[in-house]
């Protein structure tokens, strides 16, 4: 039997630690605005090693757009890498900063 494809209506969740010049450049606040505009749930926080980590949950297309945004960041950021990890959706609501 074939495994059914993930429906576009089913939410997905992706964690995305981002490296580069991403702290002190408005990355988290820009991420918050972008995620809210895309109807995404999740969070974004600074990590002690200088990275910023975001987790997005929602519609697959919106999550993919958010990940693409992370690869660029706000205009003052210099992103060198984004390591995307799939996770099981948690049913989160709202987007928050950590």
Give the active site residues.
28, 46
E strand or H helix that includes residue 77: none
Tokens of 3: 């495994």
Length of the chain: 98
Q: Residue 87: what are its φ and ψ, rounded to 5°?
A: -135, 165
Distance CA 40, CA 44 (A): 12
Distance CA 47, CA 9 (A): 32
Distance CA 25, CA 28 (A): 8
């Amino acid at each position: 039997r074939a495994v059914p494809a993930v429906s576009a209506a089913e939410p997905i969740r992706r964690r995305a630690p981002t490296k580069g010049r991403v702290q002190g450049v408005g990355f988290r606040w820009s991420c918050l605005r972008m995620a809210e505009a895309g109807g995404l749930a999740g969070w974004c926080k600074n990590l002690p090693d200088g990275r910023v980590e975001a987790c997005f949950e929602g519609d697959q297309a919106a999550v993919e757009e958010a990940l693409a945004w992370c690869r660029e960041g706000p205009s003052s950021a210099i992103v060198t890498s984004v390591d995307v990890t799939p996770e099981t959706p948690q049913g989160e609501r709202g987007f928050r900063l950590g």
